[in-house]
Every structure is written in structure tokens, then in C-alpha cells.
């Protein structure tokens, strides 16, 4: 059984730029455009099994990057913290400079 892995979609957003054009294009069709394996096979004129292999290799590559760098998970956690802090600071009486710096940091992380 070959199922879409939601975590891979997240890693694709993050590390997709490191994939070869071919892998990135197939992964984009599969994870972002929601094409079926057969539809992708038709688009790029290879077998359905060929598409499956490209996806599998690209997934391994994305997992390798995250396993080594761990940046996707770290940035996601920082983004969550920064958003919560930003929302809290908007409704709390604190000096403007602190509030502005919190906003700037949250924007920097979200970029």
C-alpha cells in the first residue's frame, strides 16, 4: 500500500528546494496538486512504477535532511511559540519597544 504521508508534505515545503527538478516536480504534483500516480505517469511519460520510485527516493531524501538537520521541526516549534507570544503581547500592557521587537522576531521566523 502506498499512502500519502502528511509529514512528507511538510518536509517538502521546507526542503523541496534541495531536490532535483524532476523529483521536485513529481512531488509537487503528488503532494500539492493531488495528482494520482497514473496521472503523473501520463504527464511525464514514465511508468506508474517509475513514478512510485521517484516519490520514494525523494521522500528518503527529505527524511535524510530532517533527520540530520532537524530544522523543520525546530522552526515549526519556534513559529508556534512566536505566534502565541505575539498574540499575548498584543493584548497586554507592555512597552511599545518590547511589543515591536516581538512582532519583528515573529515575522522573521515566519518568513
Interface residue list for a copy of itself (CB under 8 A): 15, 17-18, 65, 68-69, 71, 74-75, 77-78, 81-82, 84-85, 88-89, 92, 94-95, 97-98, 101-102, 104-105, 108-109, 111
CB 59 within 8 A of CB 44: no
Task: Output the smallest distance, CB 49 to a copy of itself, in A.
Answer: 29
Cβ closer to a copy of itself: 44 or 94? 94
Nearest CA to 7 out of 83, 79, 75, 72 is that of 72
Q: Which is nearer to a copy of itself, 4 or 80 (CB)?
A: 80
Nearest CA to 65 out of 26, 12, 108, 3 is that of 12
**What's the closest the beta carbon of residue 84 comes to a copy of itself, in angstroms?**
7
Helical axes 48-69 vs 71-90, angle rounded to 10°:
70
Amino acid at each position: 500500500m502506498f499512502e500519502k504521508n502528511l509529514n512528507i508534505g511538510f518536509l517538502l515545503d521546507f526542503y523541496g528546494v534541495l531536490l532535483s527538478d524532476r523529483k521536485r516536480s513529481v512531488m509537487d504534483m503528488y503532494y500539492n496538486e493531488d495528482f494520482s500516480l497514473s496521472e503523473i505517469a501520463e504527464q511525464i511519460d514514465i511508468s506508474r512504477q517509475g513514478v512510485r520510485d521517484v516519490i520514494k527516493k525523494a521522500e528518503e531524501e527529505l527524511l535524510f535532511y530532517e533527520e540530520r538537520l532537524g530544522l523543520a521541526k525546530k522552526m515549526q516549534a519556534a513559529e508556534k511559540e512566536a505566534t502565541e507570544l505575539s498574540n499575548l503581547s498584543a493584548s497586554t500592557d507592555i512597552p511599545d519597544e518590547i511589543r515591536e521587537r516581538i512582532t519583528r522576531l515573529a515575522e522573521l521566523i515566519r518568513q
